[in-house]
Amino acid sequence: MKILQLDKNHRLIAEQLSAKGFLIEEDFYSSYQEILEKIRHFDGIIIRSRIPLDKNFLENAKNLKFIARVGAGMENIDAETAQKLNIKLINSPEGNRDAVAEQVVGMLLVLMNRLFISSIEVKNGIWKREENRGTELKGKTFGIIGYGNMGKAVAKRLSGFGVEVIFHDILPNLEDEFATQVSRQELQEKADIVSLHLPLTQESKYYVDGKFIAAMKKNFYLINTARGEQVKSKSLIEALKAGKILGAALDVLEYEKPSFENLNTKNPDLQYLLESEKVIVTPHIAGWTVESKRKLAQVIVDKILVNFS
């Protein structure tokens, strides 16, 4: 089988698949149109997010048998068309779930204890203790939206913090020893912290909007390491200003480009989030560790070999 790899990934993908007899071609720079002109010659594609695999692309991929995404989200692929064309979709959420979970906990502790702000102040000669008094995680109720690979890994990490972990998911019977499954309404009544772990779909776009925030009984902290468009920025900013949202840890932003490599634009809402002391922003790096780079790649290789060797 001939496989086209469109993004730079861990070298083990090419090494291990080549050793099993697959022909690997790498093209990290050609445009969508240039890739379109040659895609009919390939049986498989390995991607991250650089090229959108839309209906037009897939219909031109006459011999394509699979698409493997090194990562979790599949929104860059027209899954409906892929299914009609019998193209198998493969992803690797198992590879970076631990990295995502660690960043969720890390960002929350930094946010609740004002560690980032106070560190910058001290480095600039400002010594404030009372103003930087933190809030403990112990005794809080942590609400997870979406209990797949990422959500479960977060719940597991929280097991030693003395928090009650609850979650809401559209699928039933997912409860385990680390978290209790509840309705969305019960989560909104109990949660002190809300963390999003959803795939991006039409249903999950702007999941956290003004209506969702208003339904929260408590003032709360918000964490988003899933997709930027799942939080409506204007609603988030209004809630931050009003004190309904006590703080936000954002690894993803509504303003990201589809490839997740940069921001689309600068505007007043984005500037507010970047400048607010109540907000931590990181550049889409949850799940982006030295270890996860290898694990993501290994999961992809293993799944390709199971299905196509």
- For the cut 90, the answer to whether the pLDDT of residue 266 exceeds it is no
Cα 203 from Cα 228, distance rounded (Å): 14
Name the band, by pLDDT with cuts 50, 70 and 90, for residue 309: confident
pLDDT surpassing 90 at residue 184: yes
Is the Cα dihedral 291, 94, 51, 66 positive or negative?
Answer: positive
Mean of pLDDT values over 36-43: 95
Share of the chain above pLDDT 70, in %: 100
Residue 79 has pLDDT above 80, yes or no: yes
77 has pLDDT over 80: yes
pTM score of the predicted model: 0.94
Catalytic residue among 10, 227, 229, 254: 227
C-alpha 228/C-alpha 200 separation (Å) is: 9
Mean pLDDT of 186-204: 96
% of the chain with per-residue pLDDT over 90: 94
Active site residue 114: no
- The model's confidence at residue 14, banded by pLDDT at 50, 70 and 90, is very high
pLDDT tens-digit series, residues 102-153? 999 999 999 999 999 999 999 999 999 999 999 999 999 999 999 999 999 9
Q: How far apart are CA 207 and CA 122, in angstroms?
A: 37
Determine the Cα–Cα distance for residues 250 and 224; give it in Å rounded to an integer.
Answer: 5
| 129 noted as active-site residue | no
Is the separation of the CB atoms in 154 and 144 below 8 Å? yes
What are the tens digits of pLDDT across the range 224-251?
A: 999 999 999 999 999 999 999 999 999 9
Active site residue 227: yes
pLDDT of residue 263: 80
Of 189, 238, 256, 294, the catalytic one is 256
Report which residue type is found at 252. Answer: V
Q: Could you tell me where the beta strands, DSSP code E, fall in 107-188?
A: 141-145, 164-168, 180-181
| Res. 265: pLDDT tops 80 | no
Beta-carbon contacts of residue 80 (< 8 Å; ≥ 6 apart): none
Distance in angstroms (rounded) separating the CA atoms of residues 221 and 214: 14
pLDDT band at 257 (very low <50, low <70, confident <90, very high): confident
Residues 5-17, mean pLDDT to the nearest whole number: 96
- Is residue 196 within 8 A of residue 231, CB to CB? The reply is yes
pLDDT of residue 258: 76
pLDDT recorded at residue 260: 75
Query: Above 90 in pLDDT, residue 206?
Result: yes
Confidence of residue 171 (pLDDT cuts 50, 70, 90): very high
Note the pLDDT of residue 262: 77
Average pLDDT over residues 162-174: 97
- Residue 226 burial (CB count, 10 A): 26
pLDDT computed for residue 67 by the predictor: 97
